[in-house]
Structure 1
């Protein structure tokens, strides 16, 4: 539900009475009430009351605040509104702890991590968890660890979901759509089991009053796994037969062994050797799963670091100059070491197809594992400040087979295209010099003026040439005032061709019979039809074929797609002698993300304008690439639609 960022109004503190009443209502709704018997000793009653107060504070701390929120949900973007309850436990960041929608209170994962066993806990497999965290619902075949299932997991009840890898850590909150407790089997069944409401990784999890990213899930929690030991869960998982199923946007899990694991068992990889033909055929059989792509990126990073350590043993930091930009890490430590043997693997091995979706989150995941240390910079990217070269994953890394350089370069540039991993130096636009010239074609009514200068059949003139021709006409007709050379007498030709009397200025000039020289020249030039020419490498304007209108600007557009993903679109480069495809290839490598080249919507099929799309906010990278091709910044127009009211 909270895949899209909700609009949250300013927080307001909860009154103590409201907080206690809300906490007591939660305790009652979730059947958490600690009984206080009447016929007990005062000491026992006091201890029970203290436990009740402690439970209240755990569910809704005394620093709790609340605020109204609105968001949209579902394919029809149905408007959803409610109340969020925000608070912080001792020593922790302030987070959203509860969400109230239609008078029903839903705990967030932060509340579940501090209050074990308040919801029935279901389990599913890691690949399914990744889909759930993308907003999908849990399908019945994706249930793990049963039957039997928790007795409280009945239709309409709020439930938690954990991964079988960390069975004691809830990471999804949802509502049962069926009576899961009554299920006798899941194999061969169909349909939705749980509708997801909130998960670790959504916008509610990411909310913070200080702007800090969402808190990482703990490795293990006591209390949630009292009835299910981890070893028992793993054993059940291994014995279960699972079926592939995907229905109405839900998630099920295929039981096939990961292809990359099978491959590693069949072949002893050796760096630099060619890939076997059979391996290529096997790899093309199906698209890689998200888990396999994640593992490939992790291994590629460790391979890249291992490679630098091996070849630069005696250099400080093994030849790496910190801090490292995220694009450098992707271009030099990851992409060259991805096992992209075939076109199918090349299309699959893209950062956007990982569970992290972008290089920033990938690096932050390595930071959490203490493999490297990174920090945010400029809000849109991170820089790597240090790498632990002594990490066991680096020290014990065993190199695997890599494809040849010419085949490894086949990363997707979008919609079936191919791109080189290196800049195409055969692109003749690199290093070119450009000059934009504005030229004009006089209208027929000005022919008496220019015929005097005997300019022949020339049709186009620069502003300087027009100024010279008009001055020649003024001098040849002796129209300059003898007392003030800056004034020009208006003769019948000028009166008919330039000042036709339709405007207030025309009437004033005609009444006075004179006009300032500069005003006359500017009036004639502005009345000519504008044209332009983009001249390359010192070419003459006479040899160029002028194009109507003023010189167009290259347009760089930043906009948001798919909720919160920013893309950069570039169009109009052809007018500046820049071929779109080589530019897209360079941007793919420089920005460490996929690119695509397609016809701009609305452009003429006969003379199409191509549009380059790059993942991420890449305005600066685009401008640098254009400057390498002789394009001045003033010829580029940037529009940022990701920030309302901002753009230039």
Structure 2
């Protein structure tokens, strides 16, 4: 919505005290806030400013005294107040949230909507059309809100294997043109903030026939989860606080991890996979089977043998063997696990939970889906056009064509061919040559160039287009076509030696292709694992230049192509080996 500059922007004016109180009351009631929170989010000295979006929708933004936009409405007479990221940075839990990988954020900044495959976690049971914030996924913490939008579908469908399509219609994002009106500060650090207003109450543990001890153990491990694998769609169901586990609690979790590993992983292994060394058994199967969601708290205690009641891994495994869960064999160098017993009562009664391994597999799958969605971006359609101008006006008037229209090269060629045929200008023994008559001579002549009697058709087309005014039209997937005057330049990707003998890659001329310098730099920093920076390019009106450390032509080209830019509009040069 704000991917393009705001139009018809009026001068900001102070909001009357009575209007400010009414606005505060609306915010307090709409978002269930206290009066003190209302004063923070709707402060004294509030300003209002009217604007139009690039799609010509009228809107009003409410600015803090320092200029940061805090709230906005879209539509004539709309009462639908929408918080900006500046407001959400003050109160991150104001809206239900969805978290997404860091690689997705630049796409949202560029104007894209959030797709379902890009959602890692979300507040449960968010209805369609509900206002939400989009955060960058940060494990065990709430990342800062970086976008605001409306749910495109109910959150309940997002855990399905075949779920696809849009999750959020993004209305406003960090680094868009509404954000640019403010102080442009960096997002705050992730916080261990309470999500209790957004989350469902934890489900109570369901008792089973094996007694209250097992039930208590299960409750400790998977607070907020049900009998079935928990939180399949990454729902955040509890508040986040620091918590320290006792050694007995760590031991309980490790024992549950053994049951999970036997039930989900080890029972499927062929007999030939055994024996396993104790260290392999522990690192490959037990540790990945630890629960991903221990309780409603952020744990400060590592869940490993060192922090359990057992002095060593061998001692722990021998306790498991004594309980009949595994079979061991003592060797001189170390203990070997000879087999496991999936039919043990405790294994069969074990209620599976979302393990660290499950979460990692899901994350990899989601990253894969995000990458697939990214690769599905359609190639931009770029059409060069020309408008009759100065000398070329004579030709189009002479052949009876509209001088106010834009013409492509095939259109210009057709006009020349028609004129040549009507005026009998085609050379009989060579159909490619056309005789220059008085009209063509008057249009193409110049002081420094003497024209021949005949000229090839392609050369005629080129010469006539050179006398015309250049325009171009770019149509990108999901965006309105953009028609602009001027000659479209290719994106330049140049490797040069800078600061002595250090190679660096410079990218320029990318703005016409819907790319934002900061977003491009962020993506390349992640892809190339190299330092990046943004600075003004040399020359008047040259736009911005993105700098990437190292020789990165291949990585940059692949990223540009994945964003829909045709290869013919990417010009790459390696000047690092050329002598000065």
TM exceeding 0.5: no
**Rg (Cα) greater in structure:** 1
* TM-score for both structures, normalised by structure 2: 0.40
* TM-score for both structures, normalised by structure 1: 0.36
